[in-house]
Amino acid sequence: MSLSSSKVLITSGCSFSAPWGDETTNTWVKYFQKKYKFELYSHSGMGAAGNEMITQRLMYSINNALQKGYTDITLAVMWSEHHRNDVFTKDWSLDIDTDNGNIMFNNQIYTNIDKGANHNITSGFIRPGAFPQNEDYYRNEKQRNWLLNYYKFYNEEYSLLCTLKNVILIQSICKLNNIKCIMFVMRNIFEEEYGLFEYTLVNDLKFWDNGFHPKYKAHKHFIDFFDDEIKKRL
Q: Which has the minimum average pLDDT: 4-8, 17-21, 55-59, 93-97?
A: 4-8
Longest CA–CA separation in the chain, Å: 55
pLDDT in tens, 177-210: 999 999 999 999 887 678 999 999 999 999 999 9
Domains in the chain: boundaries: 3-91+108-114+156-233
pLDDT in tens, 163-178: 999 999 999 999 999 9
Confidence of residue 118 (pLDDT cuts 50, 70, 90): low
Mean pLDDT score of the chain, rounded to an integer? 94
Determine if the pTM surpasses 0.85: yes
- What does 95-148 look like in DSSP terms, one character per residue? --SSTTTS-BSS-S-EESSSTT-----SSEEE---SS--SSTTSS-HHHHHHHH
Confidence of residue 98 (pLDDT cuts 50, 70, 90): confident
Cα–Cα nearest to 16, from 218, 189, 228: 218
CATH 3.20.14 holds for 3-91+108-114+156-233: no
